[in-house]
Amino acid sequence: MSEIKLKFLGAAESVTGTCTLVTCGKTTLLVDCGVIQNGQKENELNYKPFSFDVHGLNAVIMTHGHMDHTGRMPLLVSQGFTGEIIAHPASAELASLIWFDSVRIHNSGSEPLYNENAVNNTIAKIRTVQYENEIEINDVKLTFFDAGHILGSSHVLINYKGKRVIFSGDIGIRQTPIIRDPYVKWTENVHGVVIESTYGNRIHKGRDQTIEEFKEIVRRTISEKGIIIIPAFAIGRTQEILYHLNTLVEHKHIPVIPVFVDSPMANRVTQIYRKYTDCYDSVAAMQIFTGDMPLEFRGLNSVMSSSDSKSIKNTLPPYIIIAGSGMCNGGRVVSHLQNNLNNKKTTVMFVGYQGYGTTGRSLVDGEGSVFIGGEYCDVAARIETLNGFSAHADKQELIDWAKAVKGNDIKWFVNHGEKAASEALASELVKANCGTAEVAKMGMEVVI
Residue 96 pLDDT exceeds 90: yes
User: Residue 274 pLDDT > 70, yes or no?
Assistant: yes
Higher pLDDT, 37 or 260: 260
140-146 vs 154-160, strand pairing mode: antiparallel
pLDDT at 107: 56
Mean pLDDT of the chain: 93
Residue 352 per-residue DSSP state: S
pLDDT digits (tens, 9 = 90+) for 309-342: 999 999 999 999 999 889 998 889 999 999 999 9
Task: Report helix angle 89-107 to 116-123, nearest 10.
Answer: 170
In the chain, the N- to C-terminal Cα span, in Å, equals: 10
Residue 111's pLDDT band (cuts 50, 70, 90): confident
Output the CATH code of domain 5-202+391-447. 3.60.15.10
Residue 130 predicted with pLDDT over 60? yes
Identify the band that residue 131 occupies on the pLDDT scale cut at 50, 70 and 90.
very high
Which amino acid is located at 312 in the chain?
A: I
Counting residues of the chain whose pLDDT is more than 70, the rounded percentage is 98
The pTM score is 0.89
What pLDDT, on the 0 to 100 scale, is given for residue 285?
84
Instruction: Output the CA torsion sign for 346, 235, 30, 24.
Output: positive
Where do the structural domains in the chain lie, given as residue ranges?
5-202+391-447, 207-389
% of the chain exceeding 90 in pLDDT: 80
Topology of domain 207-389 in CATH is: Rossmann fold (3.40.50)
Would the pLDDT of 109 be above 60? no
Residue 19: which of 41, 50, 44, 43 has the closest Cα?
A: 50
**Residue-wise DSSP of 76-89:** HHHTT--SEEEE-H
Cα four-point dihedral sign 437, 438, 444, 446: negative
pLDDT-based confidence at residue 137 (cuts at 50, 70, 90): very high
Find how far residue 413's CA is from the centre of its chain. Answer: 20
Asked if residue 112 has pLDDT above 60, the reply is yes
Note the pLDDT of residue 207. 85
- Asked whether the domain spanning 207-389 has the same topology as the one spanning 5-202+391-447, the reply is no
Distance (Å, whole) CA 251 – CA 297: 11
Among 36-45, 59-68, 233-242, the range of highest mean pLDDT:
59-68
Q: CA–CA separation, 414 vs 436, rounded Å?
A: 11
